[in-house]
Structure 1
Amino acid sequence: RNLDSVAISRQWNRSANNRSMFTSPQWTYKTQLKDFGKPPEIVNLHWISRWIDKPSFFSSLPSELPVVWSLHDMNPLTGGCHHALDCDQFTNHCCNCPSLKKSGKRDRAWKNFELKAKLYQHINLHFVGNSTWTTQQAQKSALGKYARSIRTIHLGIDTNDYQPIDPSIAKAALRVNPNDFAIAFACADLSDKNKNLSVLLEAIDELAKHYSITLILFGSGQIPALNNQITTLNLGRLSSPHLQSLAYSAADIFVMPSQIESFGLTALESMACGTPVLAFRTGGIPDVVIHGETGWLADEVGSAQSLYQGLHWMVKHSQERSHFGKAARERVEQKFTADLMANSYINLYQELVKK
Structure 2
Amino acid sequence: MSRILFINSVCNGSTGIICKNLYKAAKDAGHTCCIAYGRGDAPEGFNTIKIGNQLDIYLHVLKARLFDASGFGSKKATKDLIKQIEEFKPDVIHLHNIHGYYVNIEILFNYLKQHPEIKKIWTLHDCWSFTGHCAYYTYAKCDKWQICCNGNCPNKKEYPQTVFSNIKSNFNKKKEIFSNVENMILVTPSKWLKDEVGKSYLKDYPIEVINNGVDINVFKPTPSHIKQQYGIENKKVILGVASVWDKRKGLDTFIDLSKELDDQYQIVLIGLSKKQIEQLPNNIIGISRTENVQELVKWYSAADVYFNPTLEDNYPTTNLEAIACGTPVVTFNTGGSPESAHKDNIADNANYRNLVFNYRKEIKILDVDAYNMARKYLKVLCKVIK
Q: Distance in 2 between matches of 1:4 and 1:158?
A: 33
Alignment match, 2:106:
55
Alignment match, 2:170:
112
Is 1:199 matched with 2:253? yes
Alignment match, 1:44:
94
CA contact (8 A) 2:60 2:102 kept: no
Q: TM-score, normalised by structure 1?
A: 0.81
**SS state at 1:128 partner:** strand
CA contact (8 A) 2:324 2:368 kept: no
Q: Distance in 2 between matches of 1:307 and 1:223?
A: 23
Give the superposition deviation at 1:13: 3.4
Is 1:171 matched with 2:220? no
Judging by fraction of residues, say which structure has more helix. 1
Unaligned runs of 5+ in 2: 1-52, 158-164
**SS state at 2:331 partner:** strand
Distance 1:170 1:163, change over 3 A: farther
After superposition, give the CA deviation of every residue in 1:189-246 in whole Å (9 maximum; x if it has no partner).
12x221011112102211x2x4433221211424273333x1x333321223322110
Give the superposition deviation at 1:266: 0.5
Q: TM-score, normalised by structure 2?
A: 0.75
CA contact (8 A) 1:127 1:138 kept: no
Aligned ranges for residues 1-355 of structure 1 at < 5 Å? Answer: 2-3=54-55, 5-13=57-65, 24-30=70-76, 31-32=78-79, 33-36=82-85, 37-49=87-99, 50-61=101-112, 62-85=115-138, 86-96=141-151, 97-100=153-156, 108-124=166-182, 125-145=184-204, 147=205, 149-166=206-223, 169-172=225-228, 174-190=229-245, 192-206=246-260, 208=261, 210-221=262-273, 222-223=275-276, 225-228=279-282, 230=283, 232-292=284-344, 296-298=345-347, 300=348, 303=349, 305-314=350-359, 321=361, 324=362, 327-328=363-364, 331-332=365-366, 335-354=367-386
Give the superposition deviation at 1:312: 2.5
- Aligned-pair Cα RMSD in Å: 2.2
Give the superposition deviation at 1:14: 5.5
Alignment match, 2:30:
none
Q: Distance in 2 between matches of 1:141 and 1:135?
A: 10
Structure 1 counterpart of 2:169, one-letter code: K
Instruction: Give aligned pairs, total.
Output: 314
Unaligned runs of 5+ in 1: 17-22, 102-106, 315-319
Distance 1:25 1:348, change over 3 A: same
**SS state at 1:143 partner:** coil
CA contact (8 A) 2:272 2:286 kept: no
Distance 1:176 1:272, change over 3 A: farther
After superposition, give the CA deviation of every residue in 1:44-66 in whole Å (9 maximum; x if it has no partner).
11112112111111111202422
**SS state at 1:79 partner:** coil
Distance 1:120 1:48, change over 3 A: closer
Give the superposition deviation at 1:29: 2.6
